[in-house]
Amino acid sequence: MITQKMKYALKALLVLGDEAAKEVPEPLTIEKIARRSGTPKRFLEQILLEIRNAGLVGSIRGRSGGYLLIKQPAEISISEMLRLIDGPIAPLPCLSRRAYQRCEDCTDEATCRIRKVFAEVFWSYLILIESLTLADLIRSEQLSEQLVGA
């Protein structure tokens, strides 16, 4: 399950992705992003700072400043966003590639039935989530809007 913070991050990125698709995109203030995404402003500041520090969005200071995407939506991995915002995505610490930890109560990982079952489920999930990008979310949203309007 993703956290509310991750949902807010994705909503902000979708707004910035929509702006980036315009012929002449302009930086968006936190207020505009919050209004367009339906996200509380007080949470967005910290989230956008994290995303900016990760090199996904840029910020411009001043009166006409704000945030904008500095990577193409197809280059923004949803799995990397999950790790950035929510931390490790593996269901067990012994399955994590980047935050591996041996389970304290495990005597033998090779024969652990819990690990084996969750590994199978997790690898299937990982294949799907690793393939998703912000561009996929944008396309999905556009398709939904087209279906509703039809």
Helical (H) or strand (E) element with 105? none
CB contact at 8 A, 66 and 56: no
SS3 call for 133: strand
In-domain check, residue 51: yes
Residue 69: both structure tokens together: 């995407």
Torsion angle, alpha carbons of 31, 32, 36, 42, to 10? -20
Residues near 79 by Cβ (< 8 Å), separated by ≥ 6?
89, 126, 129, 130, 132
CB contact at 8 A, 106 and 113: no
Predicted TM-score of the model (pTM): 0.83
With the C-alpha atoms ordered 60, 61, 62, 67, is the resulting torsion angle positive or negative? positive
| Residue 140: predicted pLDDT | 78
Of residues 13, 4, 105, the one with CA closest to residue 52:
13
| Residue 34: predicted pLDDT | 96
In-domain check, residue 106: no
CATH number, domain of 34, equals 1.10.10.10
Q: pLDDT tens for the chain, 150 residues: list them.
A: 889 999 999 999 999 999 999 999 999 999 999 999 999 999 899 999 999 999 999 999 988 889 999 999 999 999 999 999 999 998 888 888 888 888 888 888 888 888 999 999 999 999 999 999 999 999 876 655 555 555
Q: Hey, what amino acid is at 108? A: D
In-domain check, residue 150: no
In-domain check, residue 71: yes
In-domain check, residue 19: yes
Q: Hey, what amino acid is at 144? A: S
In-domain check, residue 91: no
CB contact at 8 A, 101 and 93: yes
| Residue 62: predicted pLDDT | 85
| Total domains in the fold of the chain | 1
Helical (H) or strand (E) element with 59? strand 57-60
In-domain check, residue 22: yes
| Residue 150: predicted pLDDT | 52
Domain that holds residue 65: 1-76
In-domain check, residue 82: no
